[in-house]
Structure 1
Amino acid sequence: MYKVEVVENGVQASNVIRALENQGYEKDNIYIFAHDKDRSADLTEATDTAEVNIQEQGIIDSITNVFKKRGDELRSKMQSVGLTEMEAEQYEEVLDTGKLVIVGSHH
């Protein structure tokens, strides 16, 4: 059982992580996926604005499962947290657009 959310930046990521925690997902089971290749900005920075406050940054920093790799590794890791091969491919394409994919897993 898992839930997948797509977000644009660190502010949205913080909100989604908070919502997942409120729904009973534990930090150890929340995964953030991002492409590293063209996007050197840290996940804790919003892409368009610098409005990530200390509290929001802390939420993202407290997630240990942050994956910033290339496509094959990301697809493999997404499958390992419960997504199907087809879903992993679809979300990896989303990552290509510069968005972040957050997965809350119950396993």
Structure 2
Amino acid sequence: MENVKVVENGVEAKREIDQFIMQGFTKNEIYLLAHDKPRSEDLTESLDIQKIGVDEQGVFDSIANVFRTRGDELRSKLESLGLSRAAAEHYEEEMDQGRVIVVASKSA
């Protein structure tokens, strides 16, 4: 999947979101993930983009995420957006380093 960007902060995330919009994605097709859950929620809300929820993950995975570690939850969410298991693991490692992942997905 080519529609994944690794950024350091909200300013860079905003720039990548704008690029995705220029490529034809809507804000409902753009997702942001960070290892720190409050940071992820704050950036998602302030940048006015979509949260990964039941529509993207399905009921089972959404419920299972309640019991998963944050890393497992993030990998599951990335896979639900169309990333391979290996790619999800790679991007989760990037989030472990404090980076933010911006994903544009029409398939979710």
TM-score, structure 2 as length reference: 0.73
The runs of 5 or more residues in structure 1 that have no matched partner are: 45-56
The 2-side partners of 1:26 and 1:8 are apart by 22
Q: Which amino acid aligns with 2:5?
A: E
CA contact 2:34–2:100 (8 Å) conserved in 1: yes
Sequence identity of aligned pairs in percent?
Answer: 50
Structure 1 distance, partners of 2:27, 2:77, is 17
- Partner of 1:5 in structure 2? 5
Number of paired residues?
92
Q: Report Cα offsets for 1:12-36 as digits up to 9, x if no partner.
A: 0000000100000111111101011
Secondary structure of the residue that 1:65 maps to in structure 2? coil
1:63 counterpart = 2:49: yes
RMSD of aligned Cα (Å): 2.7
Instruction: Return the letter of the residue paired with 1:33.
Output: L
Whichever structure has more helix as a proportion of its residues is 2
Q: Which runs of at least 4 in structure 1 moved beyond 6 Å after TM superposition?
A: none
Q: What is the CA distance between 1:87 and its match in structure 2?
A: 0.2
Unaligned 5+ runs, structure 2: 54-68
Matching residue of 1:52: none
TM-score, structure 1 as length reference: 0.74
